[in-house]
Amino acid sequence: MNLAVQLDQLESAQLVRRAEDSEPAFQFKHTLTQETVYQSLLRTKRREIHVHVARAYEAAYPDRLDEYAALLAQHYGEAGDDAKTLEYATRAGDAAARVYANAEAVQFYSQAIDTAKRVGAIHESPLRDLCLKRGRVLELLGRIQDALANYRAMESLAQERGDRALELAALIALATLHSTPTIAHDAEETKRLSDGALAIAREIGDRAAEAKILWNLQNLAFFTNDARTGIRYGEQALAVARQFNLREQTAYILNDLSRIYLMTGETVEAMRAVRDAQKVWDELGNVPMLADNLATAGETSAYAGALSDASEYCQQAIQLAQSISNPWVQAYARWTEGLVTFERGDVGRALAAMDESRRMAKQAGFAAAQLGGQSDLGLMYGLLGAFERGIELCQRTIQLDSVGFLPFLPWALAHLSRVYARQGNLTAAAEVAREAREKHPSRDYIVYLTVPIALAEGELALAQKDYPEAVAAVAPVVARYHATGIAYRAADAFLVQARAWLAQGELDRAEEALKAARALAERMPSRQALWQILLEQSRVAGARGEAAQAKMLRDQARDVVNYIADHIGESKLQASFLALPDVCAVMESR
């Protein structure tokens, strides 16, 4: 029959109308009409029409099949052609994932998986890759529980079929989620899964899988504060990955190994690993991991005291993460950006960045940024004199960490102790500092735990007027700075020692510590540390009878304090900062 004649008749009957499109097309005037016509067709006729439509698209657009893959998957699915449905649903999922349309990718991969299960008895299906792809896009969407369910279903299916390779892939994927800083973090489960996976990998001779398992154990060691074990596993994983030229896995290992090097203060090794991984991510075009790598470079630079570099890396990471709607990396980079911006004295921007980091972290299921960032924010409020708000945030972190995500418990306790000490509640400060030390079981020097605990103990000793103990408490931080150049809170440690020596009348030693602290603060640059250093230098000059020098230094300190106060934004918070005793000492001097 003549198609044009039929279409003219349908148009005259006002059942269809011409679509406003560049190509000839018609559409039903109402969806109910379309549904009625469709349901009136026999099932066999419907299938026949879907096949004709699908083949017409394939013939008309042979070079644009990815573009029409979703439509082709729909038509072949309705036609009952499982092989073609599987092909095009997979292509549609891959096409969506490439442009970070992750919600759509989940839908298409799910269709492909359901189809693959049906054809599995006929020929070998790509179930493993499809399940892993769906799990990955669920992770990128922050749907951690759904990703876990995906991998558990994958494991059950593998056991039903006796498919050891599929089971191995499921165990590794589950261990990855449980080993990393997600809401699903579970050290014991990671170890159980990894032991089972390692046995299967060795049974079937899968060395690539062995590299992934060692990588999971590397991350588990990192997040249980066992740096040396983490480095050992990481270097073993790296050797296997390089032996078999597993470039992507090599980059994953390097990316995370950099954090363990940073954890122990080995900043040069950390940045080398970051840059080596960055080259691979760039070459592979893996934008999510390139964004994560840039955020890691920002964190590494911040710990090394290069705040300008850290801010630049974080901005690049945030822009990339926004372009692909990746909340995880946005949370990660904004957390570091908040810390950096606070140090530089732009308090209002810093607090906004920290709040946005926590919001994104919740969306992504990123426990590290939720817990660690929240306790860092609590310390910030404490340093600004908003003690109650700071205490509440730190306490909330401690309560949330009751699930046993160990790295952030001593961190939050140390920050809480520092806020209590500034508030004048020395009893609470001492109790919490003692608990922080007890919760830090590792004998390794772990920068992000050792330093906050040392500062908590040092500042508490200062407040208790136990000056020798104050000097001793922060001595490891100072020694580590001299040995490695890692600047994380080193200026604060110098300040503790300088204040202790000044209180004991040891002016030369106080002056030497303040000189080192000032050089570091100006290099970073850190206005938060600088105004306090200038104040203590003025006190040393005053103790030496150098009134003009003392006044000049206080004037410089006042300029820095004014900058910080002008950039706080919130009037109540500005008032609490200006009411701090040392700030008053700066502002009242003329």
At 576, which CATH number? 1.25.40.10
Please indicate, yes or no, if residue 542 is contained in any of the structural domains: yes
Q: How far apart are CA 424 and CA 580, in angstroms?
A: 12
What are 526-561's pLDDT values in tens digits? 999 999 999 999 999 999 999 999 999 999 999 999
**Burial class, 24, CB count within 10 angstroms (exposed 0-12 / middle 13-18 / buried 19+):** exposed
Task: Flag whether pLDDT at 43 surpasses 80.
Answer: no
Confidence band for 180, pLDDT divided at 50, 70 and 90: confident
Sign of CA dihedral 338, 339, 342, 346: negative
**Tokens standing for 169?**
């892939």
Residue 555 in domain? yes
Query: What pLDDT score does 40 carry?
Result: 55
484-524 per-position pLDDT tens digit: 888 999 999 999 999 999 999 999 999 999 999 999 999 99
Here the tokens at position 136 are 């990955």
| The residue count for the chain | 590
Asked if residues 262 and 304 have their Cβ atoms less than 8 Å apart, the reply is no
What pTM did the predictor assign?
A: 0.83
What's the CA gap between 13 and 23, in Å, rounded? 22
User: What proportion of the chain, given as a percentage, has pLDDT over 70?
Assistant: 89
Instruction: Give the residue among 344, 269, 348, 268 at the shortest CA–CA distance from 312.
Output: 344
244-256 mean pLDDT: 95
Residue 509: per-residue pLDDT? 98
Per residue in 463-480, pLDDT tens?
999 999 999 999 999 999
Q: What is the pLDDT of residue 122?
A: 44
Say which residue, 460 or 180, is predicted with more confidence. Answer: 460
- Domain assignment of residue 183, yes or no: no
Is 405 inside any structural domain? no
Torsion of CA 263, 266, 267, 272, to 10 degrees: -110
Domain span at residue 504 reads 465-590
Contacts of 163 (CB under 8 A, 6+ apart): 157
Q: Are 351 and 321 in contact (CB under 8 A)?
A: no
| Mean pLDDT taken over the chain | 90
26 φ/ψ angles, rounded to the nearest 5 degrees: -130, 155
Name the nearest CA neighbour of 364 among 171, 147, 97, 95: 147
Amino acid at site 526: S
Q: CB neighbours of 239 closer than 8 A, spacing ≥ 6? A: none
DSSP 286: -
Does position 481 have pLDDT exceeding 70, yes or no?
yes
Residue 441 has a pLDDT of 64
- Residue 454: CB partners within 8 Å, gap ≥ 6? 473, 474, 476, 477, 493
Assigned domain for 474 exists: yes
Tally of domains within the chain: 2
Asked, for residue 7, whether it belongs to a domain, the answer is: yes
Pairwise CA distance, residues 95 & 189, whole Å = 34
| 116-162 tens-digit pLDDT | 888 864 445 588 999 999 999 999 898 999 999 999 999 999 999 89
Task: Report in angstroms the alpha-carbon separations of 52 from 33, 48, 79.
Answer: 22, 6, 9
d(CA 89, CA 126): 12
Q: In the 8-state DSSP scheme, what is residue 366?
A: B
What is the maximum alpha-carbon separation in the chain? 109
Question: Residues of 188-207 as b/e, b for ≥16 C-beta within 10 angstroms?
Answer: ebbbebbebbbebbeeeebe
User: DSSP 3-state assignment of 26?
Assistant: strand
Query: Does residue 504 contact residue 512 with C-beta atoms inside 8 Å?
Result: no
Residue 386 within any structural domain of the chain: no
- Helix segments in 41-81, DSSP class H: 43-60, 69-79
The confidence score (pLDDT) of residue 205 equals 93
Measured between alpha carbons, how far is 278 from 291 in angstroms, rounded to an integer?
Answer: 9
Q: Which residue has the higher pLDDT, 152 or 50?
A: 152
251-281 confidence digits (pLDDT tens): 999 999 999 998 888 888 999 999 999 999 9
Q: Which helix (H) or strand (E) holds 209?
A: helix 207-222
- Helices 367-383, 347-364: crossing angle, 10 deg rounding: 160
In a domain, 61, yes or no: no
Each residue of 547-556: pLDDT tens digit?
999 999 999 9
